[in-house]
Amino acid sequence: MGMVIEKLVGLGTSGVESLPNEMAWLAGLAEEILDLEEQARKMLGRRVGHRQIKQLSGGMKALAGQLSVALLVLLLCSVLLFSRIGDNGSIYYSEKIDVGKLWVTASSGGWRSSSAPRSNWPSPPTESNGYLLVRCNGGLNQQRSAICNAVLAARIMNATLVLPELDTNSFWHDDSGFPGIYDVDHFIKSLKNDVRVVASLPEIPSAGKKKKKMKALQLRPPRDAPPTWYTTVALEKMKEHGAIYLTPFSHRLVEEIDDPEYQRLRCRVNYHALRFKPHIMKLSSTIVSRLRAQGHFMAIHLRFEMDMLAFAGCYDIFTSEEQKKLSKYRELNFAKKRLIPEERRAIGKCPLTPEELLGSGANQTKSGLSGFMFWAQRVGPELGPGMDPYRPVRV
């Protein structure tokens, strides 16, 4: 009985991680109750004499007592356990939560970041095998990832990397280019011990007196290509033509590579070499400072944009005319695939709408819209009167 009381106390104070054990204990208790019930049935079914009846009566009383206690314990345990489960299935606790701790940087547990080489990592040879150009397509995150892969591909092939070309012909229509967004000098200097980087292809002698810029052979690399593709197919074409132009280059180098030094190089590019230009850093710092002045904040990228909605097939919340525009956009820009719009949102493939995230309360702070947002006229009063359904808004 003492063990049962101890367990009852534990059920009221344990955390989420102990729920599987608690459920298993309750299941075991239920099994014991069933065993007691079975024993009672067997005892009742026996043919016994007068003396045995007295013994049986005592045994039945003991069993009845055990069964009553077991049922009571099971009931109490169930109440304690399920009282911590809210209406939406989430677990809550009676103890107070220190909200301040939610905004404190999590403990590293003794680990520290380090992308520096940890083994023999020679500087790139003086003579390279040729020039590598890439076109980084996709959204901002995909383009940044592609830049990291481009540096790694150049290292794998012992190639000279030309500053990556950023996609300007897709939904974004932003012609800033690499030099307009990132600090070029810092990028080149940071990677001097990894790859050779140049701003553009060199000029070569031509038949006439004037020199002309070297031309690169255009190749389409396979998706998630292994390093062997770059050391065979790509390298062969590079040696033959002097330069190759890989396009598109989003997800064109496999993520999982056994060599840890290659993965560290990716980290060096992403966290050290890629630094935004001073005016971008200044603007972002100003925005963050103003948000922090109002208290804690959370930045959420809804991805509620025309290209994302078309790609995901999330049409069901729009009018028939808007759905036609989205369908046409998908047909022109993405591979053909059978999608059922009514099912996409139900299976979690659609981004939250600003209405779903923010609600319509007048007291809520609506900030954090980044870049361009594809929006519909139905929320015009929220973001401004007279907003057209597909008008991109720069904020």
CATH number of the domain enclosing 245: 3.40.50
Average pLDDT, the chain: 75
**Is 45 among the domain residues?**
yes
Please indicate, yes or no, whether residues 137 and 244 belong to a single structural domain of this protein: yes
Mean pLDDT of 183-190: 96
Instruction: Specify the higher pLDDT residue, 164 or 318.
Output: 164
Q: What is the pLDDT of residue 85?
A: 52
- 8-17, 57-66, 113-122, 373-382 — which one is most confidently predicted on average? 113-122
pLDDT at residue number 132: 97
**Which two tokens mark 53?**
């009846």
Q: Which pLDDT value is given to residue 268? A: 95
Q: Over range 279-292, report the average pLDDT.
A: 91
Phi and psi at residue 362, to the nearest 5°: -75, -20
pLDDT at 322 over 90: no
Asked if residue 388 belongs to a domain, the reply is no
Which residue range(s) make up the domain with 351? 298-383
Same domain, 258 and 313: no
CB atoms within 10 A of CB 227: 18
Q: Are 348 and 367 in contact (CB under 8 A)?
A: no
In a domain, 392, yes or no: no
Q: Could you tell me if 152 and 232 lie in one domain?
A: yes
Supply the pLDDT for residue 377. 41
Residue 95 lies in a domain: no
Where is pLDDT greater, at 355 or 45? 355
CA–CA separation, 127 and 120 (whole Å): 20
Mark whether 251 and 344 lie in a shared domain: no
Q: How many domains does the chain have?
A: 3
Same domain for 147 and 271, yes or no, is yes
- Single-letter residue type at 40: A
Out of 104-113, 197-206, 251-260, least confident range: 104-113
pLDDT confidence tier of residue 30, bands split at 50, 70 and 90: low
pTM summary value: 0.63
CB proximity list for 36: less than 8 A, separation 6 or greater: 63, 66, 67, 70
Is residue 290 assigned to a domain? no
Helix (H) or strand (E) holding 2: helix 2-13
On the CB side of 3, how many CA atoms lie within 13 Å of its CA?
A: 3
Q: What is the pLDDT of residue 97?
A: 73
| pLDDT, average across residues 49-56 | 52
Residue 71 has pLDDT above 70, yes or no: no
Average pLDDT for residues 225-252, to the nearest whole number?
A: 95
Sequence-ordered strand ranges (E) for 63-129: none
Using CA atoms, how far residue 275 sits from 268, 322, 394, in Å, is 11, 39, 23
Is 96 a domain residue? no
User: Radius of gyration (Cα) for the chain, nearest Å?
Assistant: 33
In terms of domains, do 27 and 56 share one? yes
**Which among 315, 132, 323 has a CA at the least distance from the CA of 237?**
132
- The DSSP output letter for 300 is -
362 in any annotated domain = yes
Confidence of residue 247 (pLDDT cuts 50, 70, 90): very high
Residue 147 lies inside a defined structural domain of this protein: yes
372: confidence class by pLDDT, cuts 50, 70, 90: very low
Query: Are 156 and 21 found together in one domain?
Result: no
